[in-house]
Amino acid sequence: MTHHDHSHSNPHGHDHGHDHSHAPSVSAANERVVLTGFALTAGFMLVEVLGGVLSGSLALIADAGHMLTDAAALLLAWVGFRVGRRASDARRTFGFMRFEVLAGLVNAVTLFALVLWIVWEAVQRLRSPGEVLAGPMLVVAVVGLLVNCLVFWILHRGDQSHVNIRGATLHVLGDMLGSVAAIVAALVIHFTGWMPIDPILSVLVCLLILRSAWALLRNALDILMEAVPPDIDIAALQAHVRSAVPGVAGVDHVHVWSITSGRVLATLELTLAEDAEASEVVPAVKRALAERFAIGHATVEVVHMPQAQCALEQPRSDDAHGHGHGHGHEHEHEHEHEHEHEHEHDHAEPHPQGVAREQGRAE
């Protein structure tokens, strides 16, 4: 799409400033990385399934199931990159960048589903242990570890700031641990003949996977919920803008969120010091946000009087229930009515001495 500077200043000081290219910068190298990883993972997954069935090893079958989710994660990442490159249009002004986050969310959910399946199968194996052929299991597990190491290295050559590449890397890391567990189980079975080691190590690997799955899920949900990025503090941002940019008297109604990994946006209102020029202050604020907080897109509005409350914030409980002014007026009206009734009572039954005193004052 054509890049253009959208910076302008209107009478209200509302400025979008800077390059408005919202399309993600996804390189062809990233696409090649995930596509190569997908081909290797999906190819060996079939070998591992066959090896797990022939040897009777749950650890191999679990690792094959994990490689299936690895392949799905890599495929989703590749599709996310391809779709995310589509330019923005009149309806989707940020393009399709959020597709990456949705794919990352799917990756996390599949990890949780995989863990549940492995734990279920492990419980069944512990109740009814089956025969496991240690020789074929060991060969397949070693080759699987080598393939996973190769895919892990390939993915690390990609951009780790992208949620999907990071998610796929976590998948492969868990798969490497699964291969190690399968190797250990094969060695134990070969030298001792103790079959329960196979499902036990599978469950231990699941505990390691859960930590990575939770981190990935939380990251995806934070972006979808437009939470403030974890490395940005709103109070620190406000203080930095006030101290670093001359002419700024106040910073209010700050909202910071991410469209996708590494693409941070912000909106805020400025009140200017006396004699400060919006045309100079606003660009300086944008530079400060970009340099200090890596906020590449900021919408800044200059106001003469900050609003009492932002429309995006929840109303306070006292306002919601009509406290404050409402009750105050009710009490005042009640007292006024009481005084009115007292005066009406006085007029209805005037005391003779009171009437005389009032007449004397009038004279």
| pLDDT at 229 (0 to 100) | 92
- 119-123, 171-175, 286-290 — which one is most confidently predicted on average? 286-290
| pLDDT at 313 (0 to 100) | 65
> Over 50: is that where the pLDDT of 342 sits?
no
CA 139 from centre of chain? 41
* Amino acid symbol at 289: L
| pLDDT at 347 (0 to 100) | 44
Q: Which residues of 25-57 are buried (b: 16+ CB within 10 A; e: fewer)?
A: ebeeebbebbbbbbebbbebbeebbebbeebbb
Residues 9, 11, 12: CA angle, nearest 5 degrees: 90
Average pLDDT score over residue span 116-132: 85
Strand order in the sheet with 14-15: 14-15, 297-302, 263-272, 248-260
CA distance readout (Å), 83 to 1, 92, 104, 109: 15, 13, 14, 21
What residues contact 157, with CB distance under 8 A and at least 6 apart? 29, 33
| pLDDT at 198 (0 to 100) | 87
| pLDDT at 94 (0 to 100) | 73
What is the residue-wise DSSP string for 120-132? HHHHHHHHS----
User: What are the backbone dihedrals phi and psi of residue 202, each rounded to the nearest 5 degrees, phi first?
Assistant: -65, -40
Rounded to whole angstroms, the Cα distance separating 114 from 203 reads: 11
Confidence of residue 156 (pLDDT cuts 50, 70, 90): confident
User: Alpha helix (H) ranges present in the chain?
Assistant: 28-55, 58-84, 98-127, 134-156, 163-192, 197-224, 234-244, 278-293, 317-320, 325-348, 352-362
- Asked whether 178 and 184 are in contact (CB, 8 A), the reply is no
Stronger pLDDT, 159 or 246, i.e. the higher one:
246
Rounded to whole angstroms, the Cα distance separating 174 from 66 reads: 8
> Over 50: is that where the pLDDT of 108 sits?
yes
Q: Does the reported pTM lie above 0.85?
A: no
> Over 90: is that where the pLDDT of 254 sits?
yes
User: At 272, which helix (H) or strand (E)?
Assistant: strand 263-272
Rounded to whole angstroms, the Cα distance separating 237 from 92 reads: 29
Sign of CA dihedral 292, 295, 297, 302: negative
| Number of CB atoms found within 10 A of residue 200's CB | 18
Strand partners, 271: 250
| pLDDT at 336 (0 to 100) | 46
Tokens 């868990």 correspond to 174
Token pair for 246: 């001359």
Mean pLDDT, the chain, rounded, equals 76
| pLDDT at 246 (0 to 100) | 94
> Over 60: is that where the pLDDT of 326 sits?
no
Token pair for 309: 């409350």
> Over 50: is that where the pLDDT of 325 sits?
no
> Over 90: is that where the pLDDT of 31 sits?
no
